[in-house]
Amino acid sequence: MSIRALIVDDEPLARLRLRQLVEAEPGIELIGEATDGREGVDAVRELQPDLVFLDVQMPELDGFGMVEELGVGDLPAVVFVTAYDQHALRAFEVNAVDYLLKPFDRDRFRRAVERARQHLAARGGSLAREQLLSLLDDLKGGSRYVERLVVRTSGRVIFVKTADIDWVEAAGNYLRLHVGSESYLIRDTMAAMEARLDPRQFVRVHRSTLVNLERVKELQPLFHGEYAVLLTNGARLTLSRGYRDRLQHLLHGTI
């Protein structure tokens, strides 16, 4: 079955580039274009596309405004097309089918299309809508930190509240989230995860470890300015000397 696609972007050259890519890609039918968010809302409601290539930054009604106005009932699968930096895109990556960072090439476009195809074939549209609207709630609330993470594992999608995370450790090209008796692997970097979590709650204690301050039970001095960090669940971590100042500030100078 062909995917019925709509392009919404206020930049003529960007629309042209997307149009050329869509028309050259097997299995996709371009059913329309919109030059701004308001026109995009009308086009979605009238044409009922399966997939929308949606520019985030548009005057008056932007991509997020479109998502909010359409609501759950009329919202198709979405691939963001954006010039946002990589840190912001990590939020989009878990709240949309995919994203395209301008400028992008044909191979990256094809990967986005393939993800959309798999998503639609698995009847994941309702999940994408929930994730997008969750992102909107976070943005409207004025918070720049995520309140939950989406973990894909063994064909399942698991929602993890950040408040439930005990600690995070680096594992090669992945991170391992320790959540109670469970642990989950996600592909991310420690620096990017640290930027996404509220620094009032999560603090770096080692170059490969982030800890939830609510889970810290005790600090025990070791050698050369290092400390053992004991968590309420019995885990024992190490506070490196290089990360001591930040933790000391959060604990009001008690170490």
User: How would residue 76 be classed by pLDDT, with cut points 50, 70 and 90?
Assistant: confident
- Of the three residues 119, 140, 161, the one that is the final residue of a domain is 140
Number of domains in the chain: 2
pLDDT in tens, 189-240: 888 788 778 888 999 999 999 999 999 999 898 887 788 999 999 999 999 8
CA gap 43, 37 in Å, rounded: 10
- Both 9 and 106 in one domain: the answer is yes
- Both 136 and 152 in one domain: the answer is no
CA gap 137, 97 in Å, rounded: 18
CATH number at residue 244: 2.40.50.1020
- Both 123 and 156 in one domain: the answer is no
- Both 217 and 117 in one domain: the answer is no
- Both 88 and 20 in one domain: the answer is yes
CATH number at residue 114: 3.40.50.2300
- Both 25 and 126 in one domain: the answer is yes
Q: What is the pTM of this model?
A: 0.51
Domain of residue 225 covers 148-250
Confirm whether 255 is domain-assigned: no
50 CB burial (10 A radius; 0-12, 13-18, 19+)? buried
DSSP for residue 252: T
Confirm whether 65 is domain-assigned: yes
Average pLDDT, the chain: 82
- Both 136 and 157 in one domain: the answer is no
- Of the three residues 85, 105, 140, the one that is the final residue of a domain is 140
pLDDT of the residue at 94: 43
Give, for 190, the enclosing helix (H) or strand (E).
Answer: helix 190-196
65 CB burial (10 A radius; 0-12, 13-18, 19+)? middle
pLDDT in tens, 172-185: 888 999 999 999 99
pLDDT of the residue at 164: 96
> CB 118: neighbour CB atoms within 10 A?
11
- Both 59 and 131 in one domain: the answer is yes
- Both 187 and 96 in one domain: the answer is no
